[in-house]
Amino acid sequence: MNTHLFRIGAALALCASTQAQAAASKTCLSNGEVEGLVGYVLPSVLDKVAGSCAAHVSRKGYMATRLPDLIDTIAAGRDAAWPQARAAFMKFGGANDKEAAAAFAALSDDALRQIVDETFAEKLGMKVPPSACLDVEEVLETLEPLPAGNAVRLVTAVMMMAGRSDKSIPACPR
Amino acid sequence: MRKPALFAALLLAVAPGLAQAAEPPCLSAGEFASLAGYTMPSIISGTTQRCATALAPGAYLRSSGGELSARYARRKAGEWPGARAAFLKFAASSPETARVFQAMPDESLQKVVDAMVEGMVSQQIPLERCTAIDRIVRLLSPLPPENTAELIAITVGLGAKSGGGKLGKIGVCPA
C-alpha cells in the first residue's frame, strides 16, 4: 500500500472507530448516502456477525442456513450502492484531513473500493459477544419476511433517526 | 358502556391510581409480546391520528394506516387472553385499580386498554418524529403481525438486559 493509500486507510479506520471525529465535522450524510453506505457494507457486516456467531448458534438455525441468502441478495446490490457509498466515504475520510480528502478524490473507484473493503468494512464488522448471538439470530429471523431492500432501508432509517437525536452520527437534518 | 367518552371518564378515574402506584411489575417477553400483539392496532391508529397533520398527503400512515391497523386487528381476539393477563399484572401495582379492572367483562376491559394505548400514543409521539416513524412503519409493513409483535418484545427485552427495556412504564423482566 503506498503512502496515500495507507493514509486514506488509516483515516477510514479511524473514522470508523471514532465517531467523535464525525461529530466534529461540519459535513453531514444524506439519507441516500447512508442508504448507499448501508447497502454497501451490510453484507460484510452480516457475514462477520454470522462468522463470529457460528460456534454459538444452531447449525440448523436461521443464521447458518438462511442468512447467507439474504447476504447474497443484498450483496448483489453493492455495485448500485457504491456511488452513494463512495460519496459518504469521501465525507468521512476527508472531514478532518484535507490531504486525505485530496488523495481520496484522486483515487480510482477500484482502488477506493479495495481500501474500503479492507479497512472500513473490517472495522464495522463488530464481533458479537457469544452471549448475544442467539438474540441477534432471533431479531434477524423475525425480520426475515422483509424484502432485502426494506432491510437496507430500515437500517438506514434507524441510523438517520438515531443520527438526528444523537449528534455523534452526522445525519443531515431533514 | 358504549360511548368512548365513558371510557375516557373511566380512564380519568383510574389513572391517578395507576400514576400513584408502586413501580409496576415487569412482564415476561411472552406477556409483553401478547400485549404488543393485542395493542398494535391501537398503536397504529393512535400514531396515524397523532401524525395526520405532520405527514405529507402521500405518507404511508395517511394512505394505508387504516388498512394496516385493520390487518393487525384480525389477531386481537387470539392475543387477548395473554394481553389481559399481562395488563392485569401490570395494573396489579395499584390494588384498587386492579380490582376494578379484574371485575370488568372482557369487552369493557378491551375498550379500556384500546383507549388507554391509543391515548398514550397519540399524546406522546413527538411530531418531529412522525416522518421517520412513517418510513419505518412502511418498511416493516410486509412483516406478518406476529413478527412485528415479537420484534417489539425482543427489542424491549434486549433493552431490559442492558437496564433500559421499557415502553412507557411497561418493562420486560431481564432474562
Q: A77-113 pLDDT, tens per residue?
A: 999 999 999 988 888 766 667 777 788 788 888 998 9
Residue A172 lies in a domain: no
Using the beta-carbon criterion (under 8 Å), do A145 and B142 form an inter-chain contact?
yes
Q: For residue range B17-68, list pLDDT tens digits in order.
A: 444 556 678 888 888 888 889 999 999 999 999 999 999 999 999 999 999 9
Contact B135 A150 (CB under 8 A): no
A173 lies in a domain? no
Q: Residue A18: which pLDDT band, with cuts at 50, 70 and 90? A: very low
Q: What does A1-56 look like in DSSP terms, one character per residue?
A: --HHHHHHHHHHHHHHH-HHHHHHSS--B-HHHHHHHHHHHHHHHHHHHHHHHGGG
The overall pTM is greater than 0.80: no
Number of domains making up chain A:
1
pLDDT for the residue B175: 64
Nearest to A153 among B139, B150, B158 (CB): B139
Q: Look at residue A21 and tell me whether its pLDDT is greater than 60.
A: no
Angle between helices B76-91 and B95-103 (to 10 degrees): 150
Q: What is the model's pLDDT at position A16?
A: 46
Please compute the mean of the pLDDT values over residues A157-174 and round it to a whole number: 77
**Is the pLDDT confidence value at A151 over 90?**
yes
Range of the domain at A74: 3-165
pLDDT for A140? 95
Contact A142 B144 (CB under 8 A): no
Looking at every residue in chain A, the average pLDDT score rounds to: 80
Q: Which of B139, B148, B155, B161 would best serve as a mutation to test chain A binding (most A beta carbons within 10 A)?
A: B139
Contact at CB, B142 and A161, closer than 8 angstroms: no
Backbone angles phi, psi at B65, to 5 degrees: -60, -40
- Would you state the pLDDT for residue B21? 52
Q: Which of A35, A142, A169 to mutate to test the interface with B (most CBs of B within 10 A)?
A: A142
Model confidence at A5, pLDDT cuts 50, 70, 90, reads: very low
Q: If you average pLDDT over residues A117-122, what whole number do you get? A: 72
Residue A20 lies in a domain: yes
CB contact (8 A) between residue A157 and residue B129: no
User: What's the complex ipTM?
Assistant: 0.72
- Where is pLDDT greater, at A162 or B99? B99
pLDDT at A19 over 60: no
CA dist B160 and B153 (Å) reads 10
**pLDDT of B41:** 93
* pLDDT, block means (10 residues), chain B with 175 residues: 42 47 75 89 93 94 95 93 91 85 94 89 88 93 91 79 64 72
Long-range contacts, B47-53 (Cβ 8 Å, 24+): B47/B121, B47/B122, B47/B125, B47/B130, B47/B133, B47/B137, B49/B118, B49/B122, B50/B121, B50/B122, B50/B123, B50/B125, B50/B127, B50/B130, B51/B125, B51/B127, B51/B130, B51/B133, B51/B134, B53/B127
> Number of CB pairs < 8 Å for A and B?
43
Domain range annotation of chain B: 26-165
